[in-house]
C-alpha cells in the first residue's frame, strides 16, 4: 500500500498531487494577500488615497505637457513629498 506522500512503483505519487499542492499554496498566498490588503486599507487607506490623488495630478500634469508649467509640477512633487513624510 502506498501513501499519497510516498512514491509508488509506477512513478506516480508526489508528482501526481503536485498541481493540487501548488493550487493549495497559491490559495493560501491569495488569502494572505487579501488579508494584508484589508489591513492596509483599514490602517493606511486615507493616507494612500492622498498619495494616489497627487500621483494622478502629476501624471495628468505631465500629459498636459506645455499647458502645465514646470513650477506647477514642482509644487505637485513637493505636495507628494509632504504626504510621504506624514
6 in any annotated domain: no
Which structural domain, as residue segments, surrounds residue 78? Answer: 14-85
More confident residue, 9 or 21: 21
Domain count, the chain: 1
68 in any annotated domain: yes
Tens-digit pLDDT profile for residues 44-82: 999 999 999 999 998 888 877 766 677 788 888 899 999
Residue 84 has pLDDT above 50, yes or no: yes
Could you give the C-alpha distances from 49 to 7, 44, 60, in angstroms and in order? 52, 9, 16
Contact 48, 36 (CB under 8 A): no
73 in any annotated domain: yes
Task: Give the chain's mean pLDDT.
Answer: 83
Amino acid at each position: 500500500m502506498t501513501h499519497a506522500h510516498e512514491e509508488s512503483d509506477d512513478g506516480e505519487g508526489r508528482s501526481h498531487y503536485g498541481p493540487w499542492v501548488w493550487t493549495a499554496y497559491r490559495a493560501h498566498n491569495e488569502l494572505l494577500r487579501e488579508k494584508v490588503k484589508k489591513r492596509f486599507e483599514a490602517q493606511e487607506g486615507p493616507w494612500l488615497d492622498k498619495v494616489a490623488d497627487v500621483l494622478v495630478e502629476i501624471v495628468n500634469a505631465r500629459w498636459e505637457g506645455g499647458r502645465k508649467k514646470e513650477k506647477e509640477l514642482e509644487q505637485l512633487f513637493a505636495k507628494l513629498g509632504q504626504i510621504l513624510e506624514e
